[in-house]
Amino acid sequence: MKDIADIRADFPILKREVYNKPLVYFDNGATTQKPQCVLDAVDEVYKSYNGNIHRGVHFLSDMSSEAYEQSREKVRSFINASKSQEIVFTSGTTGSINGIAFSFGESYINKGDEIILSRLEHHANIVPWQMMCERKGAVLRVIPINDKGEIILEEYYKLLSSKTKLVSVTQASNALGTILPLREIIAAAHSANVPVLVDGAQGIQHGIVDVNAMDVDFYVFSGHKIYGPNGIGVLYGKEKWLAELGPFQGGGDMVDKVTFEKTTYNELPFKFEAGTMNYPAAIGLAKALDYVSDIGREDIASREKELLSYATDRLADIKDLRIFGTSDHKISTISFHLKNIHQYDTGMILDKMGIAVRTGTHCAQPVMDRYGIDGTVRASLCFYNTKEEIDFLVKGIEKVKSMFA
Amino acid sequence: MTIKEVQDSIVDEFSLFDDWMDKYNLLIDLGKELPVIDPRYKVKDFLIEGCQSKVWLHPEFDGNLITFTADSDAIITRGIVALLIKVLSKRSPDEIITSDLYFIDKIGLRQNLSPTRSNGLLSMVRQMKLYAMAFNAKIK
Task: Give the ipTM.
Answer: 0.85
Query: What does the pLDDT look like over A282-332, one tens digit per residue?
Result: 999 999 999 999 999 999 999 999 999 999 999 999 999 999 999 999 999
pLDDT at A33 over 50: yes
How far away is chain A from the Cα of B75, in angstroms, using its nearest Cα?
A: 6
Distance CA B100, CA B129 (A): 11
Question: Residue B111 maps to which CATH number?
Answer: 3.90.1010.10
Query: For B6, phi and psi rounded to 5 degrees?
Result: -65, -45
Distance CA B114, CA B100 (A): 17
> In what helix (H) or strand (E) does residue B131 lie, and over which residues does it extend?
helix B121-139
| pLDDT band with cut points at 50, 70 and 90 for residue A254 | confident
pLDDT < 70 stretches in chain B: 49-51, 110-119
Q: Hey, which residues does A140 pair with through a beta bridge?
A: A115
| Number of residues that this document lists for chain B | 140
> In what helix (H) or strand (E) does residue B38 lie, and over which residues does it extend?
none
Interchain CB contact of A375 with B (< 8 Å): yes
Instruction: Exactly one of A37, A133, A363, A382 is catalytic; name it.
Output: A363
Distance CA B98, CA B84 (A): 15
How far away is chain B from the Cα of A344, in angstroms, using its nearest Cα?
A: 6
Distance CA B54, CA B43 (A): 11
Query: Tell me, what's the pLDDT at B18?
Result: 81
Distance CA A382, CA A31 (A): 11
Closest CA to B51 of B115, B113, B118: B118
* B140 CB-side CA count, 13 A: 8
Pairwise CB contact (< 8 Å): B51 & A360: yes
The CA dihedral of A86, A234, A163, A103, to the nearest 10 degrees, is -80
How far away is chain B from the Cα of A354, in angstroms, using its nearest Cα?
A: 11
Query: How much is the mean pLDDT over chain A?
Result: 96
Query: Tell me, what's the pLDDT at A34?
Result: 98
Q: Which of A341, A345, A355, A374 is most worth mutating to test chain B (most B CB atoms within 10 A of its CB)?
A: A345
Query: Tell me, what's the pLDDT at B114?
Result: 47
Distance CA A117, CA A108 (A): 17
> In what helix (H) or strand (E) does residue B78 lie, and over which residues does it extend?
helix B75-88
Query: What does the pLDDT look like over A75-107, one tens digit per residue?
Result: 999 999 999 999 999 999 999 999 999 999 999
The CA dihedral of B40, B42, B46, B50, to the nearest 10 degrees, is 180
CB count within 10 Å of CB B131 equals 21
Q: What is the 3-state secondary structure (H, E, C) of chain A?
A: CCCHHHHHHCCHHHHCEECCEECEECECCCCCCCCHHHHHHHHHHHHHHCCCCCCCCCHHHHHHHHHHHHHHHHHHHHHCCCCHHHEEEECCHHHHHHHHHHHHHHHHCCCCCEEEEECCCCHHHCHHHHHHHHHHCCEEEEECECCCCCECHHHHHHHCCCCEEEEEEECECCCCCEECCHHHHHHHHHHCCCCEEEECCCCHHHCCCCHHHHCCCEEEEEHHHHCCCCCCEEEEECHHHHHHCCCCCCCCCCEEEECCCCEEECCCCHHHCCCCCCHHHHHHHHHHHHHHHHHCHHHHHHHHHHHHHHHHHHHHCCCCEEEECCCCCECCEEEEEECCCCHHHHHHHHHHCCEECEEECCCCHHHHHHHCCCCEEEEECCCCCCHHHHHHHHHHHHHHHHHHC
CATH numbers and ranges of domains, chain A: 4-30+296-404 (3.90.1150.10), 39-294 (3.40.640.10)
Distance CA B83, CA B104 (A): 9
Query: Tell me, what's the pLDDT at A279?
Result: 97
Question: Chain B partners of A343 at a C-beta cutoff of 8 Å?
Answer: 52
Question: Chain B partners of A404 at a C-beta cutoff of 8 Å?
Answer: 28, 75
List all residues 6 or more positions away from A368 whose beta carbon is below 8 Å from its beta carbon.
A175, A361, A362, A374, A375, A376
Contact (CB, 8 A) for B56 and B74: no
Query: What does the pLDDT look like over A181-211, one tens digit per residue?
Result: 999 999 999 999 999 999 999 999 999 999 9
Pairwise CB contact (< 8 Å): A349 & B21: yes
Query: Tell me, what's the pLDDT at A193?
Result: 97
Instruction: Find the mean pLDDT for residues A159-186.
Output: 98
How many independent structural domains does chain B possess?
1
pLDDT above 90 covers a percentage of chain A that reads 90
Distance CA A249, CA A247 (A): 6
Query: Tell me, what's the pLDDT at B115?
Result: 45
Supply the range of the domain harboring residue B96: 3-139
pLDDT at A335 over 70: yes
Among candidates A345, A352, A360 on the partner chain, residue whose Cβ is nearest the Cβ of B75? A345
Q: Hey, which residues does A380 pair with through a beta bridge?
A: A27, A333
Distance CA A138, CA A22 (A): 50
Query: Tell me, what's the pLDDT at B117?
Result: 52
Q: What is the DSSP letter of B108?
A: T
Q: Which of A21, A344, A377 is most worth mutating to test chain B (most B CB atoms within 10 A of its CB)?
A: A344
Query: What does the pLDDT look like over A49-67, one tens digit per residue?
Result: 999 998 778 999 999 999 9
Distance CA A173, CA A378 (A): 12
Q: Is A37 a catalytic residue?
A: no
Find the closest chain A residue to B20 by CA distance.
A352
Distance CA B45, CA B48 (A): 9
Question: Chain A partners of B119 at a C-beta cutoff of 8 Å?
Answer: 344
